[in-house]
């Protein structure tokens, strides 16, 4: 497809909401709160924010610059600026999109199911047993397929008619819901301990290698970085868009929603005396603890539960869309397929790849580990090196539409030195653990 026929966003707001929609998702609510719980509360949050600003933000801007400049999907954009030696990085991006969406959609399926259960009568009964039922087997697979079908339908409709329209519709609702839930959580008696846990620093934790690696993986996941999702969205932008501002808006919205989601989850858990469950937190924690909390709230429980899980679904959908869009854009540009065909065929392949995650939360956990701690961090590292050291004059491309910006020099320094150094350290720390968890999965079965 020639670049003249390339689709474009109909408005700046449309692009921004779609990009924020990509960033804000299960990562902000499910992943952020369980990692925060697992890694000692506020100390983790501080490291996470620091890495988001010093490493995530510069790489986000780099993705936007490459995407808008090239007006191509990731593989072609990298080849356009760097020649065919950079093609494998593009392939890594698409592969990561495949893998992440396959298990992301499984979790989104759980949330869909929980939202439905809330509507149909609440969360009575044993929450752990319920989670076991919802999160594995045909139940999980069925809701995963349902969620994938929705994602495929929207991506198949294109940038304006599908992706942009969905973001314009859902993101404001999501924002209101999350804020409303945070206010509600603050009215619960005993919520104070939750704020203390969430916001009080434990400095002994702050720079352990584990906290730093988990925080880096989370920063990349939450910003949708390291696999060309933001690059792909930026490739549908006109040349005059202010990219530095866009990167700031996206990063701060993402941080804000994650922070507010913590203000929902922690007070609620502590108010209901479920703190013990937090410390043994795993991928399933939110799905076991919070329904228990809602069940104890009496009459308002089902309604609160529905709103909470509905917020998760609304957050997950635009994120899943952006993951599928990377794969679809690659198939349109690279294989010459039309959009509906690309969406359906790739969506089906991803749905099948998600089956192991639907049958085992252990497999899901390892997929998440591999995707974040290996693929996204490697992708981010290579992209920082590419734009920082190899791409010709990225600053003049970034400056188009943003003439007055004074921090391009800082951007360059962060991209060239700070981001690669931090990412090399993190990868060095994370790789042995990730391989150990893969081996444990193999051995354990």
* Binding footprint of ligand TRP on the chain (CB under 6 A): 22-23, 25-28, 100, 221-222, 224, 227, 229, 319, 322-323, 376
Question: In the complex with ligand TRP, which residue's Cβ is closer, 111 or 222?
Answer: 222
CB of 30 to ligand TRP, least distance (A): 8
Question: In the complex with ligand TRP, which residue's Cβ is closer, 346 or 376?
Answer: 376
CB of 55 to ligand TRP, least distance (A): 15
Q: Which residue is nearest to ligand TRP (CB)?
A: 27
CB of 321 to ligand TRP, least distance (A): 8
- Taking 3-state DSSP, the helix, strand and coil percentages for the chain, each rounded to the nearest 5, stand at 80, 0, 20
CB of 164 to ligand TRP, least distance (A): 16
As a three-state string, the secondary structure of 180-228 is HHHHHHHCCCCCHHHHHHHHCCCHHHCCCHHHHHHHHHHHHHHCCCCCC
CB of 75 to ligand TRP, least distance (A): 16
CB of 224 to ligand TRP, least distance (A): 3
Question: In the complex with ligand TRP, which residue's Cβ is closer, 286 or 297?
Answer: 286
CB of 315 to ligand TRP, least distance (A): 7
d(CA 55, CA 380): 9
Question: In the complex with ligand TRP, which residue's Cβ is closer, 92 or 237?
Answer: 92
Question: In the complex with ligand TRP, which residue's Cβ is closer, 227 or 271?
Answer: 227
Please give the C-alpha separations between residue 438 and each of 227, 366, 432, in angstroms, as whole numbers: 21, 6, 10
Residue 126: phi, psi to the nearest 5? Answer: -75, 115
State how far Cα 301 lies from the chain centre.
Answer: 28
Question: In the complex with ligand TRP, which residue's Cβ is closer, 274 or 328?
Answer: 328
The answer for residues whose C-beta is within 8 angstroms of residue 318's C-beta and 6 or more apart is 18, 21, 22, 24, 25, 163, 166, 167, 170, 171
Question: In the complex with ligand TRP, which residue's Cβ is closer, 28 or 191?
Answer: 28
Residues 247 and 241 sit within 8 Å (Cβ to Cβ): no
The answer for residues whose C-beta is within 8 angstroms of residue 311's C-beta and 6 or more apart is 29, 174, 177, 178, 181
Nearest CA among 135, 311, 262 for reference residue 303? 311
The answer for residues whose C-beta is within 8 angstroms of residue 394's C-beta and 6 or more apart is 62, 65, 66, 387, 388, 412
Question: In the complex with ligand TRP, which residue's Cβ is closer, 271 or 350?
Answer: 350
CB of 372 to ligand TRP, least distance (A): 8
């Amino acid at each position: 497809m020639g670049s003249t026929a390339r689709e474009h966003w109909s408005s700046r707001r449309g692009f921004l909401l779609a990009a924020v929609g990509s960033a804000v998702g299960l990562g902000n609510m499910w992943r952020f709160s369980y990692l925060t719980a697992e890694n000692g509360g506020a100390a983790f949050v501080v490291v996470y924010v620091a890495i988001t600003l010093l490493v995530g933000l510069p790489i986000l801007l780099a993705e936007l610059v490459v995407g808008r400049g090239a007006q191509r999907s990731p593989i072609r954009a990298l080849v356009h600026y760097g020649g065919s030696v950079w093609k494998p990085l593009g392939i890594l991006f698409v592969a990561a999109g495949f893998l992440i969406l396959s298990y992301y959609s499984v979790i989104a399926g759980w949330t869909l199911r929980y939202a439905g259960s809330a509507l149909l009568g609440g969360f009575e009964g044993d929450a752990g047993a319920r989670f076991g039922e919802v999160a594995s087997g045909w139940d999980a697979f069925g809701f995963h397929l349902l969620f994938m079908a929705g994602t495929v339908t929207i991506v198949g409709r294109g940038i304006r008619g599908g992706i942009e329209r969905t973001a314009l519709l859902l993101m404001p609702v999501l924002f209101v819901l999350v804020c409303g839930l945070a206010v509600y959580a603050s009215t619960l008696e005993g919520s104070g301990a939750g704020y203390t846990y969430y916001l009080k620093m434990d400095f002994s934790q702050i720079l352990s290698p584990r906290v730093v690696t988990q925080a880096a993986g989370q920063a990349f996941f939450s910003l949708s970085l390291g696999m060309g999702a933001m690059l792909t969205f930026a490739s549908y932008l006109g040349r005059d868009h202010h990219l530095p501002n866009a990167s700031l808006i996206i990063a701060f919205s993402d941080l804000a929603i994650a922070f507010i989601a913590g203000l929902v989850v922690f007070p609620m858990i502590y108010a209901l005396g479920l703190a013990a469950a937090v410390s043994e937190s795993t991928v399933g924690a939110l799905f076991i603890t919070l329904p228990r909390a809602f069940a104890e709230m009496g009459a308002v429980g089902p309604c609160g539960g529905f709103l909470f899980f509905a917020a998760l679904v609304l957050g997950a959908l635009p994120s899943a869309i952006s993951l599928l869009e990377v794969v679809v854009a690659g198939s349109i540009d690279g294989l010459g397929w039309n959009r509906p065909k690309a969406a359906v065929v790739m969506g089906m392949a991803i749905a099948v790849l998600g089956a192991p995650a639907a049958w085992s939360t252990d497999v899901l956990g390892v997929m998440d580990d591999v995707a974040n701690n290996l693929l996204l961090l490697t992708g981010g590292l290579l992209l920082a090196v590419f734009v920082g050291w190899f791409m010709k004059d990225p600053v003049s491309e970034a400056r188009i539409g943003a003439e007055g910006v004074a921090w391009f020099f800082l951007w360059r320094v962060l991209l060239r030195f700070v981001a690669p150094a931090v990412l090399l350290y993190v990868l060095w720390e994370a790789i042995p653990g990730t391989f150990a968890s893969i081996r444990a999965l193999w051995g354990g079965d």
